[in-house]
Amino acid sequence: MSLVRTDYSLQKHEWGDSRRQRLKLPKIGDIPQPTIDYEKLRMLCSIEGLKGRDHTESSEEAHQEFMRNYQEIFAKPPKKSGYPNHSEKRNEIKSSTASVTNRATGKTSEVLKPTSKEYPIDTVTHDIRDYMPLLHKQRKSEDPAHVRLDNLRTLRKLLRKLPFERSLPDIEKIFSILQTFDFFKDKIPPKVLRELCVVGVLEQWKEPGFTVFGKVGLHMVLRGAVKPITDPHLNESNEVPDSRSSTPLLPEDNEKELVAGDCFGTLVKVSREQGSKIFSVVTVQPNCEFLKISSTDYMRVIEQIKQREHTEKVNLLLSCGQYQMWPKQPVLKVAELIEWMSAPPNSLLVSEKYKAPYIGFIKSGVCHVLKQVEVMHTHPNGQREKKTKQVVVGKLKESQSFSELSVLLDEPIDCTILTDKNVELGIIRKERITELDDDTKKLFQQSAEPTFGNLKKSDIQEEYINQKLKSEWSQFKRGVVMDVINSRGIRPGYGKWSMSSGKDKM
């Protein structure tokens, strides 16, 4: 009897069999891709002269032709793209390739061409340095020299845009960079400098030896170096120089140079004869770049700011009710005397029984008006005496004015004004009132009224009593609430656990 080995792995199991196995289909990625392009193989085999049914051996020409093209029958594996399932991105990458030939092997390969905007996520790259900035924050050097160079580089980049192309963030960035330079920070007010950032342009001189005339505007060197011709080379005072004075020239052997970050020229117009070299320089290096603010643009910006402020002052004056019926000419005269002022909370503007130093017109914010009152104060020993207290009798809000009569009549004011929040106001100082004519002063006296001057002494005392009662009632309520809260809680120093309550029990 012979033994027969049975291979159960080859048996077919029925559906009811307990050893049933599920049918596993291969994944699409597991299916091997064809390695031979049969269409091209068929074309190669059809070359005339190859060995076959009609020819016992191949001809030399057919053999050479087959050997030159036989590599084409192998199918190329699909290239992995950085944009799976997006044909548009793959086409974009293919369009940005260039052919490069290796001299050693003679083979030609394709490489990616750099585009105008190239980010690691947009191109297929295997360099880890391209992805590290996306994972970690870049550390910027705190060295002042490196920060200065970085600011100049950023400034050159932003100034390449035309003035009408710059956005508000661009202007704010230019403003913040210019404030890091001493001349712009110390000599130009911030509100003027912010407007000049809009009109500033980039000026380029490609060759050395050219004369840059500084009398047409202010220049700051952004790149390269220049040598001043005259002394001084910069109008730091922003005042119009005397046109009759001569222009002092520096000797040719002068070795002083202005590098990136230095300024020359003037912001105000200089009336000199044509060809004058005042505030001029000569380029020393090629490809010099400057920030230029022309004198014409500067004067136009100054006029626009003055006109804007004057209009704002006129609107503030007309917003006060007593000045709305004034003629136009007196309003314009008074608006020319107004200066801007800001005060933080709890600032004393004017004090009762003292002469006011200025007339105030509130632009924004709230002020408390206080008046003095005499009250009887009782000491713990029962003795009574008179004391002077201050009581809040009202508030001054936007579009209200104060202390006109005190300044015009040179009299003490009858109330105290204290700011509640940040207050912005326009003021006319006492010494500038003399610039007004008599008619305008009379208009002031006819239109102005004492601040809360209609209050009687009895009204002020009654208001003080009411406020005092409210304060005492609030303190009483707070004391009762605190006693209730602390009566059940063990808190040292509070309720029945305080030292005073313990002594009372003893």
Instruction: Give the start-to-end residue ranges of the domains of the chain.
Output: 145-235+251-301, 320-459
* β-bridge pairing 108-112 and 97-101: antiparallel
DSSP string, 426-472: EEEEGGGGGGS-HHHHHHHHHH---TTTT--HHHHHHHHHHHHHHHH
Indicate whether 86 pLDDT > 60: no
Say what the pLDDT of residue 251 is. 73
Which listed CATH number (2.60.120.10, 2.40.170.20, 3.30.420.40, 3.60.20.10) goes with 145-235+251-301? Answer: 2.60.120.10
Mean pLDDT value of segment 464-482: 84
CB 264 within 8 A of CB 214: yes
* End-to-end CA gap in the chain: 118
Say what the pLDDT of residue 104 is. 42
The pTM of the whole model exceeds 0.75: no
Q: Which residue has the higher pLDDT, 400 or 114?
A: 400
Say what the pLDDT of residue 492 is. 59
Three-state DSSP string of 131-190: CHHHHCCCCCCCCHHHHHHHHHHHHHHHHCCCHHHCCHHHHHHHHHHHCCCHHHHHHCCH
pLDDT for 346-399, tens place per residue? 899 998 888 899 999 999 999 998 888 877 777 778 787 777 788 888 889 998
pLDDT for 313-322, tens place per residue? 999 999 888 8
Which of helix, strand or coil describes residue 99? strand
Three-state DSSP string of 39-51: HHHHHHHCCCCCC
Say what the pLDDT of residue 496 is. 60
**Percent of the chain having pLDDT more than 70?**
74
Domains 145-235+251-301 and 320-459 in one fold: yes
Classify domain 320-459 by CATH number.
2.60.120.10
